Amino acid sequence: MLGIANPRSRVLVTGGAGFIGTVTCRRLLDAGHDVTIVDNGAEPRHDQARATLTETDRITTDLLTTDLLTTDLVDLLDGFGYIVHLAGRPGVQTSWGAGFAEHLSVNTLLTQRLLEAALVTQPRRIVLASSSSVYGDIADGAANEDDALRPLSPYGVTKAAVESLMGAYVARGVDAVALRFFTVYGRGQRPDMALHRIIDAALGGPVFGIRGSGHQARDFTHVDDAAAAIEAALFAPVSAGTVYNVGSGRPVSLRTLIDTVEDHLGRPVPLAPLEAVSGDPGRTAANITKARRLLAWSPAVTLAAGVADQIAHQREHALSAPAGSFSRGQAQPQHTGALA
Ligand code: NAD
């Protein structure tokens, strides 16, 4: 079935109080849609997101803390024409060892439950969150959607499995497409991610532990561009079962990212060298021709503007954080950050 935009559609956003979810919900609300968010997150960032999003009368609040692993998803999905499925367990390093069980459950099993419910409720379109991690290392050039998947981490394996599940359910009549997000950044970025921690370090927080040479490169995607791609994928007349890279198409090194933060703030980022770790690719790079052509989507935010947006947001929240949550100028343990 092809997705066709209604002037006002009922959209369910799972993980809607998360980083990408918050910006996506705001974008869909601004476009005039009725949005219901489902998210069981209990961190302060989730409370902030809920508070911001529920300022409007076009968002349903009674489902906000539902756990999608246990709730009846046929009941939940009933009546929704469009579903954005962002609930998940991101993070490469946490997916090793015993952490894999949670990644498998929240990323893969949860998506299977959602797709199973969609067999019954038949939404017009589901957009699934996949990841550049399905590719593994992209040493040269840029990854195309039909390249072989060689995930380097258990997290990447859970996302590759999500895409395979999508294929199985599309064959049974579910309309779903998947977006492979490349390292998303911008206001509200998860605190475990590298840029968030780099900015924290520059603003007086813990020293940033830089893994390896600093030459590892990522194709950074601003969260506004990610949200625009989600909206485009929800309503574009594209075939069920297709996948799209969502990136900037311009990989930059970790060192360049740090330089961008330093240039913006006019001060150095305190760094401590750390050993490289398994699972983090040396380089990611997206070929975004397919999304440009079929979704009529293009990234619009430059790295400099996007980093400035994230710095402004982190500054504001650091200043308003309760005492003890972030002690400026004091010796702090160093920490690293997830690049993907
Ligand atoms: P996030 O952690 O901010 O958002 C995920 C949300 O899902 C959280 O708010 C969490 O509370 C919610 N959630 C988890 N388990 C749930 C459950 N059982 N029931 C209800 N809600 C649940 O992460 P994000 O960075 O916004 O990522 C969103 C999606 O995009 C994830 O699937 C992630 O794997 C994928 N992704 C993100 C990036 C990135 O760079 N941020 C890159 C590639 C893919």
Q: Does 120 have pLDDT greater than 50?
A: yes
Cβ atoms of 76 and 70 closer than 8 Å? no
Q: Which atom of ligand 1 is nearest to the CA of 190?
A: 3
Q: What is the pLDDT of residue 3?
A: 43
**Distance between CA atoms of residues 259 and 264, nearest Å:** 8
State the pLDDT confidence band at 319, using cuts at 50, 70 and 90: low
Per-residue model confidence (pLDDT) at position 340 = 53
The larger pLDDT score, comparing residue 340 to residue 249, is at 249
Please state, rounded to an integer, the average pLDDT across all residues of the chain.
91
229 conformational bin, left if phi > 0, alpha if psi -120 to 50, beta if neither: alpha
Is a pLDDT exceeding 80 seen at residue 164?
yes
Ligand 1 centre distance from Cα of residue 80 (Å) = 20
pLDDT class of 337 with cuts at 50, 70, 90:
low
| Nearest Cα to Cα of residue 234 among 3, 74, 2, 1 | 3
Q: Tell me, in angstroms, the distance from the centre of ligand 1 to residue 158's CA.
A: 13
The answer to whether residue 155 is catalytic is yes
CA distances from 26 to 114, 329, 333 (A): 23, 35, 35
Confidence (pLDDT) at 61: 67
Q: How far is the CA of 90 from the centre of ligand 1 (A)?
A: 6
pLDDT by residue (tens digit) across 251-280? Answer: 999 999 999 999 999 999 999 999 888 888
Q: Is the CB of 77 under 6 A from ligand 1?
A: no
Pocket test for ligand 1, best of 12, 181, 218 (most atoms within 8 A of CB): 181
pLDDT of amino acid 223: 98
- Residue 330: is its pLDDT beyond 70? no
Strands 221-222 and 271-274: unpaired
Q: Which residue has the higher pLDDT, 124 or 48?
A: 124
Residue the block writes with tokens 């160093």: 334
Q: Which of 82, 135, 155, 244 is catalytic?
A: 155
Instruction: pLDDT band for 7, please (50, 70, 90 cuts).
Output: low
Q: State residue 336's pLDDT score.
A: 58
Ligand 1 atom closest to the Cα of residue 46 is 9
Please count the other Cβ atoms lying within 10 Å of the Cβ belonging to residue 172: 10
- Cα–Cα distance for residue pair 260/254, rounded to 1 Å: 10
Q: What is the pLDDT of residue 318?
A: 77
Work out which ligand 1 atom sits closest to the CA atom of 21: 26
Q: pLDDT: is 41 or 337 the higher one? A: 41
Q: CA 148, 149, 150: angle at the middle one, nearest 5?
A: 115
Predicted TM-score (pTM) of the model is 0.94
**Ligand 1 pocket test, candidate residues 12, 13, 14, 20, most atoms within 8 A of CB:** 20
Distance, in Å, from the CA atom of 33 to the CA atom of 226, rounded to the nearest integer, reads 18
